[in-house]
Every structure is written in C-alpha cells, then in structure tokens.
Amino acid sequence: MRMLARMRIAVTGANGFVGRALCPFLEKHLGAELITLTRTPTQSNNQEVSFSATDQELIQALKGVDCLIHLAARAHTQNSTVTDFERDNQTLTARILNLCVIAKIPRVIYLSSIKVNGNSTSGRMPYTADDVPQPEDIYGQSKLDCENLLKQQLTHTEIQWVIIRPPLVYGDNNKGNLHTLETLIGKHMPLPFGKLDNRRDLISIENLCNLIALCISHPNAANNIFLASDDISRSTRDIIQLLANRKKIPVRFFNLPNWVFTLIKPCAPQIIERLTGNLQVDITKTKSLLGWNPDNK
C-alpha cells in the first residue's frame, strides 16, 4: 500500500509573531513538511532558506510545494517611511509571487490586515470583506498594494490566491499596542478604563492559525478575501481583562469620565481612538463559505 505524501508548505516570515505559532501548528495538525523563507535563518528543524539566496536557489527550494503562506512584512509605522514599506512589503511580495509562478505552487495565502478596510468603524457598520478598501495610513496602503499585486500576478496563471485580513492578533509575546497594555497590566496599578463601552474585534493566534490551516486546501477559499476575528466585540476594559487572564495577573479598573478622553484626544488622536473607538469586523462570509467558527473557550 502506497503511503500518502506529506503536504509541503512554504512559510515566509516564519520567525515573526504569527510564524512562530503557525509553523508548529501546521506540523502538529497537518503533519506538514515545512520550508521556511526568512531574512535571518535560525537553527530550526525545518528546511530554511534566506531571502538573500538567489532566485534560482529559492525556486529550487520551492519545487513541489503545495501552498505558500506569505507572512513576511513590515508591520509598524513608527519610524518607518514609505520607502521602507515599499521595500519590505510591495517589492518583497512581488518577488515572492514571481517565484511562486515559476515554481508552479498551486495556492498562495497572503496575510493582509483589516487596516486595508480602514482604522475605525466608529459611526458606521462593521467592516465586511466586500467593502471598498479605504486604508488610512502607509501600512494599510502597503497591504492593499500587496493584495493587488497578488491578484495581478496570479490572475492569468493556474495559481489560486487567498487573502486573510485579521484585526489585532493576541497570544504569547504580544507586540505593539497589546504589548503596551500588557506592560500596564504588569505594573499592578488601577487602570482608567472601567467606564469605556467601545467595541473592538481581535483574533487569538490560535484561531488565526486554525483559519490559515483551513484555507490551505478548502476549495471555497480559492480566489477569495476573508475577514477574521474571534467573533466577539470587546471593550478596551474587556481586552485588558482578556490579556490579564492569559497572564494570570489580577487587574483593577476605575471610571474615568468620557469627557476626559474627549479633552485629551486632540493631543493624541490615534492613541485615544484605539482606546475609546470602535473597530468591528463582520466574518459572516468566512463562516459561511468555509464552515469555520472561532474557538472562544
């Protein structure tokens, strides 16, 4: 009896926040053989290839790959220029896609961002996958540009593409804004968010890995854009409580009047919007087409 071949999956950005969780997830749940493409290879058990390798070397490494998952990207806008994003997002994505075409990889999954839709749903309905994109910063615009590259370079090939737009992803070793909140939690001082009743969607790293794994082979995923979340809209207080529970750290709140946040907002509009504003996503399409439901146990 012939043994079934292991699925071969290539992952770019395997050393990043999502990649470090996704790679072991794919090995454990799919029994996949992994080829990782990174800027700085490490001593892992996977076949690793550096982006500094020649295109020919990368094409050779990608031969026989069933799916490539493109995670590598510049994510944060602080101290980053348009040129930085063009180099690390658009130019890298164009190169990866060209390699996929030559290597004839059947499916490419691109991890985009909800920032392609916009930064806030305050005063409007939740974002959907079919909304006209309205990125509001250079990061969101660069992710939209990469989505467009995906469609343009793969449309007239036999390669199927999948785009996933998650909101903030939380897990162990959080980055960016969630890391800042965890730092505040760790100081064990009361936090002034007890009265906030805003609504923001997040996704756990576990749910995101599960969705990506599903999109590797699901027939309905082909050539589609999906939004992702835990399917629970949380207030800033709820988000902090969620992070504190994962760290097993008690947290206390006090009520700061809403007018105080309104008064401060002109001085730090982006920070106050993230703390007090809404960012909700509608994942009805994701659930109905893929039969996927996030696990919120």
Which pair of tokens denotes residue 76?
Answer: 């944060």
Whether residue 297 is contained in a domain is answered as no
Band of residue 44 on the pLDDT scale cut at 50, 70, 90 = low
Whether residue 92 is contained in a domain is answered as yes
pLDDT digits (tens, 9 = 90+) for 224-237: 999 999 999 999 99
Residue 27 is predicted with a pLDDT of 93
Q: Is the pLDDT of residue 46 over 70?
A: no
Percent of the chain at pLDDT exceeding 90: 63
Claim to verify: residue 228 and residue 241 sit in the same structural domain: no
In angstroms, the CA 140 to CA 237 distance is: 26
Angle at which helix 92-103 crosses helix 55-62, to 10 degrees, equals 50
Whether residue 295 is contained in a domain is answered as no
Residue with tokens 């658009």, as numbered in its chain = 90
- Measured at the CA of 76, the angle between CA 71 and CA 77, to 5 degrees, comes to 135
Claim to verify: residue 89 and residue 109 sit in the same structural domain: yes
Q: Is the pLDDT of residue 2 over 50?
A: no
Band of residue 42 on the pLDDT scale cut at 50, 70, 90 = low
Residue with tokens 């439901």, as numbered in its chain = 293
Claim to verify: residue 251 and residue 218 sit in the same structural domain: no
Domain assignment of residue 216, given as a range: 8-170+202-233+282-290
Whether residue 23 is contained in a domain is answered as yes
Claim to verify: residue 77 and residue 136 sit in the same structural domain: yes
Q: How many domains does the chain have?
A: 2
- Residues labelled catalytic: 139
Claim to verify: residue 212 and residue 116 sit in the same structural domain: yes
Claim to verify: residue 25 and residue 71 sit in the same structural domain: yes
Q: Is the pLDDT of residue 263 over 80?
A: no
In angstroms, the CA 47 to CA 45 distance is: 7
Task: Give the predicted TM-score (pTM) of the model.
Answer: 0.92
Asked whether the CA dihedral 183, 116, 204, 251 is positive or negative, the reply is positive
Whether residue 2 is contained in a domain is answered as no
Claim to verify: residue 105 and residue 225 sit in the same structural domain: yes
In angstroms, the CA 4 to CA 253 distance is: 55
Claim to verify: residue 152 and residue 190 sit in the same structural domain: no
In angstroms, the CA 233 to CA 236 distance is: 10
Kindly report the average pLDDT of the chain as a whole number. 89
Claim to verify: residue 166 and residue 246 sit in the same structural domain: no
SS3 category, 108 = strand
Claim to verify: residue 106 and residue 184 sit in the same structural domain: no
Claim to verify: residue 46 and residue 191 sit in the same structural domain: no
Q: Is the pLDDT of residue 143 over 50?
A: yes
In angstroms, the CA 58 to CA 92 distance is: 13
